[in-house]
Structures are given as C-alpha cells and as structure tokens.
Amino acid sequence: MTKDDEKISKIVGKWLRQERFIRFIDGDTHNVAVTNLGYVYLEDALENIDTWVVYWGLHLTQDEIRYVRENVAKIFDYLYRKHPDHKKDQGAE
C-alpha cells in the first residue's frame, strides 16, 4: 500500500461511516432551513468540491481536509479500486 493509499484509506474510512453528507444549497452554512439542506453522496460531493458547499470535513483533521482538496483524482481512483460498491454501501441505487 502506498503512502497516499494509507492516507486516503483513513479518510475514506471516516466518510464511509458517515454515509451521507449535507449540502447547503445556497452555500451559506449558517442557513440551516430545511429548504436549504440536502443529502448528497460522497461521489457527488467530491465531483462538485469546488462549486458546492458540502459538510464533508466532519471528523477530518485540517491536514486531511487540505489533502482531499489537493488530491480529489487520487481519492476517486482509490474509491473505484478499493471500494467499487461505495455508492451501493451509501444506499444509492
């Protein structure tokens, strides 16, 4: 296992326990009105990491959050190699 795989494994393990993520539709994390909140899956949150405001950093350290932002492609690669059923595990069809 590479150093990247070890780091990603720890991050993904935290995420898979979390299952779903909360998206703030208008981008304002202080607006917790039900109409502004939506559940999204990990893959969707990562695909839109630069445009959506999603609370995916729960349980992650600042170093892990920085790593995710800098290595999204590596994380996708890891997910499809090591957890090909991750969407099914999250309840997606």
pLDDT band, residue 19 (cuts 50/70/90):
confident
Q: For position 42, what pLDDT does the model report?
A: 87
Report the C-alpha gap between 15 and 42 in whole angstroms. Answer: 8
Q: What is the mean pLDDT of the chain?
A: 87
Q: With 90 as the cut, is the pLDDT of residue 53 above it? A: yes
Cβ proximity of 40 and 54 under 8 Å? yes
- Residues 53-81 as b/e (b if ≥16 CB within 10 A, e otherwise) read ebebeeebeeebeebbeebeebbeebbee
pLDDT at 87 > cutoff 70: no
Q: Which two structure tokens, joined as six digits, stand for 20?
A: 């779903």
Q: For the chain, list the strands marked E by DSSP.
A: 21-24, 37-40, 53-54
Higher pLDDT, 93 or 35: 35
Residue 91 has pLDDT above 60, yes or no: no
pLDDT band for 84, please (50, 70, 90 cuts): low
